[in-house]
């Protein structure tokens, strides 16, 4: 009984540590005072000012486009890499696998400096193109690891049966392999999108003047002071995330 109470208290403590800061941000998005330590009146002015802030929504749009392009590119490259390395029977296959997951182990500031030096060396202007290349590079390992794990646990008898029935490589891939690894690809894409959307350090090094992302825009506001409009934006994004999660769970339950 005591252990059960301790476990419940520990679970409540963990949830409080995770969600209490988000709740505080949402509450203060309705505070009329610009100072977080002072509570004024309940207001919606910050939401009105947020929707009039064109630069913030441009940065949000850039982050969404960057996340989608990076996750799609990483999905293609990571999936092909997982398929190739899982079939490879050469001596350097293990080394290639280590190299594939290296970007998630290297500190982001090192990656950012490396990307900046590389883009400067080849003369590629900083902008959305450099952001997509950099984000795709560090998103690939997330998809690769998930797809590789799914391929390793896949029953090879399905592939062997399809080949015995005369199916070619493309037919085996699209009819057998791809449907089995698709959940892993989709999970990796969601994870890659989240990592890309949330990135600050690498984006600071490779972003251009006209391709500012939302995390970089918020980070740059720290020097002049973050306004409560940021709280309102965080509240809206959190509600949108919860809504999409509920819709996804409902769709999955129906299936």
Q: How confident is the model at residue 115 (pLDDT cuts 50, 70, 90)?
A: very high
Q: Name the average pLDDT for the chain.
A: 83
Assign residue 168 a region (left: φ > 0; alpha: ψ between -120 and 50; beta: otherwise): beta
CA 147 to chain centre: 16
pTM for the model stands at 0.82
Q: Is residue 186 part of a domain?
A: yes
Provide the CATH number for the domain around residue 139. 1.10.3720.10
For residue 31, the cross-strand partners are 42
Half-sphere exposure of 165 (CA within 13 A, CB side): 11
Domain that holds residue 176: 55-224
Q: Is residue 23 part of a domain?
A: no
Q: Is residue 244 part of a domain?
A: no
Contact in structure between 81 and 73 (CB atoms under 8 Å): no
Q: How many domains are there within the chain?
A: 1
Contacts of 234 (CB under 8 A, 6+ apart): 22, 25, 26, 29
| pLDDT tens digits along 123-171 | 889 889 999 999 999 999 989 988 988 888 887 777 777 777 777 777 7
Q: Is residue 208 part of a domain?
A: yes
Q: Is residue 82 part of a domain?
A: yes
Nearest 10 degrees: CA dihedral of 140, 72, 59, 52?
-150
Assign residue 166 a region (left: φ > 0; alpha: ψ between -120 and 50; beta: otherwise): left
Q: How confident is the model at residue 77 (pLDDT cuts 50, 70, 90)?
A: very high
Cα separations in angstroms, 89 against 2, 59, 155, 178: 54, 45, 19, 21
Q: Is residue 133 part of a domain?
A: yes
Q: Over 70: is that where the pLDDT of 16 sits?
A: yes
Q: Is residue 188 part of a domain?
A: yes
């Amino acid at each position: 009984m005591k252990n059960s109470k301790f476990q419940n208290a520990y679970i409540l403590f963990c949830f409080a540590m995770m969600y209490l800061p988000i709740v505080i941000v949402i509450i203060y998005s309705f505070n009329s005072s610009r100072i977080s330590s002072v509570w004024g009146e309940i207001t919606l002015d910050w939401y009105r000012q947020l929707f009039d802030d064109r630069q913030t929504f441009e940065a949000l749009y850039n982050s969404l486009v960057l996340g989608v392009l990076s996750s799609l590119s990483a999905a293609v490259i990571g999936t092909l890499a997982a398929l190739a390395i899982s079939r490879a029977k050469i001596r350097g296959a293990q080394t290639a696998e280590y190299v594939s997951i290296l970007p998630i182990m290297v500190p982001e500031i090192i990656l950012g400096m490396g990307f900046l030096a590389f883009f400067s060396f080849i003369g590629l202007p900083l902008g959305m193109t450099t952001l997509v290349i950099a984000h795709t590079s560090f998103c690939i390992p997330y998809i690769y690891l998930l797809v590789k794990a799914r391929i390793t646990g896949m029953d090879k008898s399905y592939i062997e049966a399809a080949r015995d029935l005369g199916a070619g490589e493309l037919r085996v891939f699209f009819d057998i392999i791809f449907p089995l690894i698709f959940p892993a690809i989709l999970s990796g894409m969601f994870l890659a999108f989240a990592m890309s959307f949330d990135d600050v350090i690498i984006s600071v090094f490779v972003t251009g003047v006209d391709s500012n992302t939302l995390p970089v825009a918020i980070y740059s506001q720290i020097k002049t002071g973050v306004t409560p409009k940021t709280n309102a934006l965080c509240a809206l994004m959190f509600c949108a995330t919860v809504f999409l999660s509920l819709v996804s769970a409902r769709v999955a339950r129906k299936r």
